[in-house]
């Protein structure tokens, strides 16, 4: 479970994934722009970034859950070597829930309010394991028990609004893990929860997923989640991966100014009262197309003219950065700027 990489055949391989949203009468939006990463069995990979950076679209594209109309997906997504992009609806449906599963952000709206928990859990068992009646009920009780829901037999007959937020998310995790999938994608699973519950849910995910060799993709904007759970982290910005590193390396030595900014913008208990927070300037909308230069340059404090294509003559590429790291930056942070606090 440590950060040490053991070479294994990856469960999930995403290569050069591009997702383009096309609306009538509007220019196309490239939500995901050439993203590549792989997840090994038992490994937890974090996709980190602000709202709108393409992390959720990446996960939906992986699961084949994007609408077909107005969306172009290209590249390659392989689950245990099987290509998912372009696979038929039926094939994908059989894989979803069985070999790959997903946990969403808001546990209340992800559960059907008019149907009992029991029906919703047994539905997955019926769809993939052909279980019905008493067998399915027994298995459902077992699943709820495993995710730490007290008195699972009674909970089966209850409706989602009768459960607490943490319990709802547990139930959803139980449903996602019902068929011991090879890959679990968790899209900000703790965002809608209390801080105390967040920790419990993360612990649960760690225990259940890593113990069984399931590959976990953790999509989050919360660096605390990354610190507690992920082996490897991909930081995304404007549809591209801008930095990849082992968790420890990333926290100790952020190289991309955006990563550094993210780390420094987390409020600290020990920074004393009245110390101003250090946000990253501007918003995710202050960006330029990658074809014209580094998308983060307008918000970057260390950007120079050669971050732009018209000056340097080439796009900023994702290049190896020592060890297992990769970086997309021409003016990375140095040990001096990494520790000195936010570049001001």
Closest distance to another protein from the beta carbon of 333 (Å): 38
**Other residues' Cβ atoms within 10 Å of the Cβ of residue 11:** 26
Q: Which of 8, 22, 29, 115 binds another protein (CB under 8 A)?
A: 115
Q: Which of 19, 45, 46, 104 binds another protein (CB under 8 A)?
A: 104
Residue 13, interface with another protein (CB under 8 A)? no
- Nearest residue (CB) to another protein, 93 versus 330: 93
Q: Which residue, among 114, 124, 106, 211, has the nearest Cα to 169 in the 3D structure?
A: 106
8 A C-beta contact, residue 151 and residue 200: no
* Cβ-based burial of 274 (10 A; exposed 0-12, middle 13-18, buried ≥19): exposed
Q: Which of 172, 216, 303, 333 binds another protein (CB under 8 A)?
A: 172
Q: CA-CA distance, 334 to 337, in Å (whole number)?
A: 5
**Contact region for another protein (CB under 8 A) — 77-85, 132-140, 163-171, 334-342?**
163-171
Residue 37, interface with another protein (CB under 8 A)? no
Tell me the CA distances in angstroms from 60 to 175, 277, 304, one per residue in order.
Answer: 18, 33, 35
Q: Which of 74, 191, 200, 292 binds another protein (CB under 8 A)?
A: 200
Closest distance to another protein from the beta carbon of 170 (Å): 9
Q: Which of 73, 175, 205, 230 binds another protein (CB under 8 A)?
A: 175
213: CB partners within 8 A, 6+ apart: 41, 42
Q: Which of 11, 14, 32, 101 binds another protein (CB under 8 A)?
A: 101
Q: Which of 72, 82, 138, 162 binds another protein (CB under 8 A)?
A: 162
Q: Which of 44, 110, 214, 338 binds another protein (CB under 8 A)?
A: 110
Residue 82, interface with another protein (CB under 8 A)? no
Residue 95, interface with another protein (CB under 8 A)? yes
Residue 150, interface with another protein (CB under 8 A)? yes
Residue 93, interface with another protein (CB under 8 A)? yes
**Contact region for another protein (CB under 8 A) — 29-37, 44-52, 113-121, 221-229?**
113-121
**Contact region for another protein (CB under 8 A) — 1-9, 130-138, 153-161, 233-241?**
153-161
**Contact region for another protein (CB under 8 A) — 115-123, 229-237, 266-274, 335-343?**
115-123
Residue 146, interface with another protein (CB under 8 A)? no
Residue 129, interface with another protein (CB under 8 A)? no
Footprint of another protein (CB under 8 A): 63, 65, 93-98, 101-102, 104, 106, 109-115, 119, 123-124, 127-128, 148, 150, 158-159, 161-162, 164, 166-167, 172, 175-176, 178, 197, 200
């Amino acid at each position: 479970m440590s950060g040490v990489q053991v070479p294994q055949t990856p469960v999930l391989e995403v290569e050069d994934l591009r997702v383009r949203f096309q609306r009538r009468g509007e220019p196309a939006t490239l939500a995901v722009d050439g993203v590549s990463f792989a997840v090994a069995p038992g490994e937890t990979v974090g996709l980190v970034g602000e709202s709108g950076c393409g992390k959720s679209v990446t996960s939906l594209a992986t699961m084949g859950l994007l609408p077909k109309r107005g969306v172009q997906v290209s590249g390659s997504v392989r689950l245990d070597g099987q290509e998912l992009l372009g696979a038929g609806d039926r094939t994908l449906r059989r894989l979803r829930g069985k070999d790959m599963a997903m946990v969403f952000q808001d546990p209340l709206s992800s559960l059907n309010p008019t149907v009992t928990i029991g029906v919703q859990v047994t539905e997955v068992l019926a769809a993939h394991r052909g279980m019905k009646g008493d067998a399915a009920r027994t298995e459902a009780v077992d699943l709820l028990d495993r995710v730490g829901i007290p008195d699972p037999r009674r909970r089966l007959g209850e409706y989602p609004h009768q459960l607490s937020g943490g319990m709802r998310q547990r139930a959803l995790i139980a449903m996602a893990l019902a068929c011991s999938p090879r890959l679990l994608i968790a899209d900000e699973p703790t965002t809608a929860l209390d801080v105390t519950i967040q920790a419990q849910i993360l612990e649960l995910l760690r225990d259940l997923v890593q113990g069984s060799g399931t590959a976990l993709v953790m999509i989050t904007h919360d660096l605390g989640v990354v610190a507690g759970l992920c082996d490897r982290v991909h930081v995304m910005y404007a549809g591209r991966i801008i930095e990849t590193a082992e968790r420890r390396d990333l926290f100790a030595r952020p190289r991309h100014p955006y990563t550094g900014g993210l780390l420094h913008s987390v409020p600290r208990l020990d920074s004393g009262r009245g110390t101003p927070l250090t946000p990253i300037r501007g918003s995710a909308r202050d960006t330029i197309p990658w074809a014209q230069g580094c998308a983060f340059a307008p918000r970057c404090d260390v950007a120079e003219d050669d971050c732009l294509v018209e000056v340097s003559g080439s796009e900023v590429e994702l290049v190896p950065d020592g060890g297992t790291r990769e970086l997309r930056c021409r003016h990375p942070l140095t040990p001096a700027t990494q520790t000195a606090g936010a570049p001001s």
